[in-house]
Amino acid sequence: MPYEPPTHTVERSLRATTDARIIAGVDEVGRGAWAGPVTVCAAVTGLRRPPVGLTDSKLLTIKRRTELAGELAGWVTSHAFGHASPEEIDDFGMTAALRLAAVRALEALPVRPDAVILDGKYDYLGGPWRVRTVIKGDQSCVSVAAASVLAKVRRDAMMAELGAGAAAYVPFAFEANAGYPSPVHKAALREWGPTAHHRLSWAYMDALPQWRHLKKVRISDEAAELESGGQLGFDF
């Protein structure tokens, strides 16, 4: 399916309208998974011509996405990853977990960005970062598209390694589903119950009567109060 390649339009706009010179594109992967972390990549790309075929990772085949990530690793000016664990997702909620992962990624960059382009409609990052949100930024902005591909390939590799790391995880086929609810994953949950890497506050636990006693409260009272007050960004 044909698609328009991403451009530097937003990056150039930020440079022209602010004093920002170092601009990081930020994208996440793993928000809808039932197991594993949520992973964020922050990528600084400058204004150079990107590798051919760069776009939102979801539009690429596994083979092309993996190849492109290898090209991007040497092409970007810098990039870094941040993760929020299943325990943090359960304890604080997804909005706060996304912010944790994004801050970890941004702070791991060798130079602090002057501005951040965040994929999506909502600013889950907030101050003190200067944020520009862009709907479908992973398709339209070069730096966000690069972050999208790098984040997806890194998290998929982490989940594949997890799935191969212990016999107890083999039935879940994490190497194939990356923690998302595939038929094999669902069947393994019914048979074996959740692992230490599952998000135990999520609604799928209600459909597992024999394991329902393991379900956690979705988020802490403190985190719920912060989110309802808007202090952690917007709810999704």
Average of per-residue pLDDT across 153-172:
92
The pTM (predicted TM-score) of the whole model is: 0.89
- Say whether pLDDT at 96 is over 80: yes
pLDDT at 231 exceeding the cut of 50: no
Q: Crossing angle, helix 94-108 and helix 221-228, to 10 degrees?
A: 80
Three-state DSSP class for residue 131: strand
Residues in the chain: 236
What is the predicted pLDDT for the residue at 228?
37
User: How far, rounded to the nearest angstrom, does the alpha carbon of residue 72 sit from its chain's CA centroid?
Assistant: 17
Q: Tell me the C-alpha distance between 221 and 213, whole Å.
A: 20
The pLDDT of residue 148: 96
CB 54 within 8 A of CB 146: yes
The predicted-structure confidence for 123-138, as pLDDT tens digits, reads as follows 999 989 999 999 999 9
pLDDT digits (tens, 9 = 90+) for 32-84: 999 999 999 999 998 989 999 899 898 899 999 999 999 999 999 999 999 99
Specify whether the CB–CB gap between 105 and 81 falls below 8 A: yes
Predicted confidence at residue 3, as pLDDT, reads 72
Angstrom distance (rounded) from CA 212 to CA 163: 23
pLDDT tens-digit readout, 173-228: 999 999 999 999 999 999 999 999 999 999 999 999 999 999 997 655 445 444 43
